[in-house]
Chains A and B, each alone.
Chain A
Amino acid sequence: MVAEGAIRAGCRFFAGYPITPATGIFKAMIDALPARGGLALSAPDEISAIAECIGAAMRGYKAMTATSGPGWALMIESVQYALMTETPLVIALVQRLGPSTGGATQGAQGDLLLAEHATSGGYTIPMLAPSNARECADLTEIAFAWAERLRTPVVVLSDKEVGMTTERVDFTDGSSSPETYAVGTNGNNGTYYFNRPGDIPLFTAVGGATRVIATGSAHDKRGKLQKNSPETIDVLRHLEEKIRLRAHELEIVVEDIQPEARTLVISYGVTSRAASSAVRLARDSGLNVSHLSVKSLFPLPYAALDRALKGVESVIVPEENLTGQYRRIIAPYIGNRVLRGINKIGNMISPSEILRAIRVTP
């Protein structure tokens, strides 16, 4: 369904390398793209895969690759390059149990921080997390829109349990989006020209009429190598600023709020499914509890978080990792409320485990 979403978004270039549990996306693109005039390429490794996608995107075409934790580790250098060169790109990261080779066929939510903090400098990598097959398609389509709008790499973070579970989806082949990124021209101002730091330079394609000077080295607005000039520092600030300024427009959450609830469950990805069930069971037994299922993990959905936290005294974050990766991210924003995690690896967190935590909440 990630592949379906990508195709809907106009993606016609894919380069991949087999890795469980992301191989299904690779295979779906291999099957789908040739007949649509596209190309799905078998790369010799993950570094080649993402670099080829970035090249295609620079040429103006919507491109995607898909991998899991071990492959993502190899791709990080090139993710940074895409970010630095303001190249739109979508990467589907289907998590499996780590560290290292880990468990190829076991689900996990352990790559969130590795994915988000993949850049030197700690720049925001926009990230979307589907909980089911339908959202895989919808959020991938949105990922392409974000990548184009923000001129930056966007991650679709799913996991084995979301990516390899077959389920009923009510879905019709829909929109036919353009296959290329909208091309603008910065005229003689240069490839990375912006007026205010939050502005986004118009995209120009390598091979197009407007000359492109692209570089992963620190550069000025024209793309010229610079070592620490004030303009270069401005460009580096701009890379974060363009996303920070738009954070409020990028919030995608499912809010299931009870105004009288003192307990809030915050979940994402596959764990949102168990959390939904748990919240329903809790309410059936007469408890008040709110649920915020986060789809846009990064940039952090501040406004939705604020709304959901109103009147809440206790926050529960269930995650399939041992250290509470998203819990740590949101901790600074919850004030003096009690923050607890439900953390587990090896198996999905079940509704009854979340329900237990809701019940013992003060």
Chain B
Amino acid sequence: MNAPTPTQTRQRSYFVDNVQFPFCKGCGHTQVLRRLDEALSALNTPAEQIALVTDIGCIGLADGLFRDIHTVHTTHGRSTAFATGIGLADRVLAGKDLRVVVLIGDGGAMIGLQHLVHAAMLNVPMTVLICNNFVYGMTGGQGSGLTPERFITATTPDGNITPPADLCAILTGSNAQFVARTTTSDTNFPDIMRRAFASPGFAAVEILELCTEYAVPKNELTGKMLAGIAEQNGWALGVLRENASRAPFHVRYAEAVRTSATPKVREHGFSSAPHAHQLAGPVSIVLAGSAGERVQSSAAALCEAAIASGLYVTQKNDNPVTQGSGFSLSEVWISPEPIQYTGIERPDIVVAASEAGLRELTSRGTMASVSDDTVFVVDESLAVSMRTRKLLPLSLRKSLGPKDAALGGLLAACHEKNVLPDETLALIARYRMGDRAKVCEGMVFSV
């Protein structure tokens, strides 16, 4: 990408003129940024097509050292997630190829591990440089999850007793396209940077480096010893993963969108338009049954028919958090006027299509709120003694089967209460049950 051509002037450096690094003497960050600048310069990418996203910590001071490129200084550990958003919007929505570079320390890499893993899994094009100097430098040299064993830090004064994580192994395990580990004193460092930047997807380079302020004074440590520390902690060096064949996210996404079915617009399945309603006032319905027995979808079918008849409706569903077991319940209002309060204090219609449904009606207080005028339809198998004058035990489960019991009960109650004309109720039955609607109609309209 953006290979220099004879007509282009080669970008010498992206640093500001006479760049002054704000880091301590001997700090590895200076070397990392020099290698970064060289790698970018070699690619000759126009400055406005580079976004440098930095994390919290000393390495986050890098923003101010660059000229002309976009810089985004973020929150601790989240740099990769912001970069993911920038990168995906750029590739997927804008169709451009902004070069996204992330600078993050060992502390940030561990607090934001999830974001690194996510970006690696998605394979979002970006180059992440993880500057591992084994300590939190800006806050006084505390140990991180990438601090070597036996290392002395402010928070491990007697030596770190916890072996550090292998970040590169985590990223390799997350299917990162390119993963490498190097040190600031490694002669291969520039070559690894070049290969990381040549990777078309997610590329991460962990760079072991010195914090001269906190790590060096307390531990026997020089730049030449970094490779040895890697070995002692089981950290492999070099390019650890280079999977050129793995397509970046935006390529796979474009392919998936191209081959996916056109989005479906759901329409009601009535064979003809419902008849005009004659409902004078609002009606409230509580329909209760068992999970998996089409309780909520039956209520929805009634609501759709009511809307198609020119009525206003609200529907609220309830079920245990497990979704697929226990009761299933819908609360419905149908009204010729817009509906405000959606709660039901005194239901006009209650339907109990199963034992689990009846139990729920009792436990939520619906049974206690039933009045003289409530139409109460129950499956005949359920023992109910109510004060309503309109208790209708029907052979819902036996005659219609458990999957249509709720709908049958609902239609019978609506027939009894004149909620919708019988022709409309018959349309709902045919829409939901097909040929089996005959039995249902026979039962409903004989109520």
Contacts and interface: CB of A to CB of B under 8 A. Distances in A.
A322 B48 CA distance: 52
Given A56-B93, A166-B300, A161 B316 contact: yes
Nearest to A20: B321
A216 B73 contact: yes
A351 interface: yes
Contacts of A215: 63, 71-73
B86 A225 contact: no
Interface in A90-123: 104-105
Given A13-B89, A39-B92, A161-B342, A55 B82 contact: yes
Interface string A254-280: 000000000000000000011011000
Interface stretch (B143-151, B256-264, B284-292): B256-264
Contact of B312 (A63, A77, A167, A208): A167
A360 interface: no
B321 A104 contact: yes
Interface stretch (A45-53, A305-313, A327-335): A45-53
Given A32-B263, A52-B81, A167-B313, A212 B340 contact: no
B387 interface: no
Interface string A56-67: 111111010000
A211 interface: yes
Contacts of B256: 34
B318 interface: yes
A44 B117 contact: yes
Contact of B70 (A45, A54, A206): A206
B185 interface: no
A128 interface: no
Contact of A213 (B63, B78, B115, B118): B63
B87 interface: yes
A193 interface: no
Contact of B340 (A55, A77, A213, A273): A273
B82 A54 contact: yes
A198 interface: no
Contacts of A161: 316, 342
Contacts of A32: 263
Given A164-B316, A167-B313, A350-B341, A48 B86 contact: no
A210 B72 CA distance: 14
Given A214-B73, A274-B340, A350-B341, A12 B93 contact: yes
Contact of A168 (B85, B92, B312): B312
Given A56-B88, A167-B339, A274-B340, A216 B315 contact: no
Contact of A13 (B72, B93, B260): B93
Contacts of B78: 47, 51, 77-78, 81
Contacts of A56: 85-86, 88-89, 93
B324 interface: no
A297 B21 CA distance: 47
A214 B63 CA distance: 9
A165 B316 contact: yes
Contacts of A31: 263
A347 B115 contact: no
A4 to B, nearest CB: 13
Contacts of A27: none
A188 to B, nearest CB: 12
A214 B73 CA distance: 6
Nearest to B333: A167
Contacts of B89: 13, 39, 55-56, 59-61, 63
A55 B115 CA distance: 13
A160 B51 CA distance: 40
B313 A207 contact: no
A232 interface: no
A207 B73 contact: no
Contact of B93 (A39, A47, A212, A273): A39
Contact of B71 (A51, A165, A210, A214): A214
A352 B253 CA distance: 53
A41 interface: yes
Nearest to A214: B72
Contacts of A211: 47-48, 68-70
A127 interface: no
Interface string B269-293: 0000000000000000000000000
Nearest to A38: B93
B181 to A, nearest CB: 24
Q: From B85, B86, B300, B312, name the one whose CB has the most chain A CB atoms within 10 angstroms.
A: B85
Given A207-B51, A216-B74, A165 B342 contact: yes
B419 interface: no
Interface in A123-166: 161, 164-166
Contact of A167 (B81, B82, B314): B314
Given A39-B93, A55-B81, A166 B73 contact: no
Contact of B81 (A51, A168, A208, A212): A51
Contacts of B88: 13, 39, 41, 52, 55-56
A224 B61 CA distance: 10
Contacts of B340: 273-274, 276-277, 351
A240 B244 CA distance: 49
B95 to A, nearest CB: 10
B126 to A, nearest CB: 11
B64 interface: yes
Interface in A207-253: 207-217, 223-225
28 contacts: A13-B89, A31-B263, A34-B260, A47-B81, A47-B115, A48-B81, A52-B81, A55-B82, A55-B86, A55-B87, A56-B86, A56-B93, A61-B89, A61-B94, A81-B78, A179-B93, A206-B51, A206-B98, A211-B68, A211-B70, A214-B73, A216-B73, A224-B64, A273-B340, A273-B342, A276-B340, A348-B342, A350-B341
Given A59-B93, A167-B312, A168-B312, 12 more contacts: A34-B257, A44-B117, A55-B85, A57-B85, A60-B94, A105-B318, A206-B98, A207-B48, A213-B70, A215-B73, A274-B340, A351-B341
A-B pairs with lowest CB-CB distance, top 8: A55-B85, A51-B81, A56-B89, A52-B85, A215-B73, A59-B89, A55-B86, A273-B340
